[in-house]
Amino acid sequence: MKGDVSQKEFVDLYKKEREMYESWGNFVADYIRKKIKEKYINLDRILKIPISVRTKDIESLVEKAFYRNKNYKDPYNEITDKVGIRFVVMHSGQLELICKIVEECSLWSESKDSDFHLSRENHPEVFSYESIHYVVGNTEKRKIDKYEIPKGTPCEIQIRTLEQHAYAEISHDLFYKKEKRDNAEISRYLARTAAFNEESDELFKMIYEKVEEDNVNYETIMSELLKKYSLLSLQSDKLNRAVYDNISILIKKYKITGKQVIKFIEDNNFILKDIERQNENLLFKQPVILLLYYLVENYIHELDDIWDFPEDMLTPIKCDLGKSFD
């Protein structure tokens, strides 16, 4: 017996409400997923592990409520992770996006129960488990699927990086087994791993910021060209992106924009007719073809120097523009 609730009563109530908790967790996860997609069309650019929604298994819940010396007065209502969601992002620079979504949503109230940034400030010498934990509760009663979600129903949200997730998964069993937790050698190894992960995360963050800058430039230019010219489409985004990545060094060097390319095409409107005549050539259906025409006209020798694809791919463009093949 714990307080006024027996284990049997506790378990029976949880069995009755478990699907309700799962429904609430799925609702919260879907809302956050939708908000992420408003910024990142491709979720893989920020989430490399599927969003995890899980209800606590009965054995773990009973252990937490009755056997961990938590001194709960009302264990069933005080335990806030009966349903939990986990978001694993690529690097720490992406954490803020999800935190902002959680904190700005009017459908729930939130409390931040764990923040590794504060832990680092308060204990800079400690390297251990790191994550951000929120507990959210709906601000009003809500009907989801066939379930009534009472006001204030808790859901735990964990947000961590891929590096932090790897550490948490590996160390979980060790920290939950006292005999191993008290082993100084194991604790030292884990601390070293956490320190290495922090350094790795900083490097990954710098890499992804560079990559993301390239992604933004790519999407901006392609969006401008596709909006202007309906005869083009991303029938093969893989080919389009591969060619763009090959020529991106010139795009950056000369700060080439979609508007510049559009102006060039408008001044040389025969190019669109030449592109239409090449309708069997997949490259000529992609928006990147307009960039190639622009580069052949203005920077042909530099383009030849960096071109990684077969030389004859550029032959029709050079012919259309009357360029030498020397």
- Residue boundaries of the structural domains of the chain: 7-207, 230-321
b/e per residue, 180-200, with b = 16+ CB within 10 A? eeeeeebbeebeebbeebbee
Q: pLDDT digits over 217-236, tens only?
A: 998 999 999 999 988 887 77
b/e per residue, 149-178, with b = 16+ CB within 10 A? beeebbbbbbbbbbbbbebbeebeeeeeee
Least confident piece of the model among 29-38, 174-183, 202-211, 255-264: 174-183
CATH topology for the 7-207 domain: Beta Polymerase; domain 2 (3.30.460)
pTM to 2 decimal places: 0.66
CA neighbours closer than 13 Å in the CB half-sphere of residue 87: 30
115 φ/ψ angles, rounded to the nearest 5 degrees: -145, 115
CB 293 within 8 A of CB 322: no
Q: Give every CB contact of residue 169 below 8 A, 6+ residues apart in sequence.
A: none
Identify the three-state secondary structure at position 268.
coil
Nearest to 4 by CA among 64, 81, 61, 77: 77
Q: pLDDT digits over 6-28, tens only?
A: 899 999 999 999 999 999 999 99
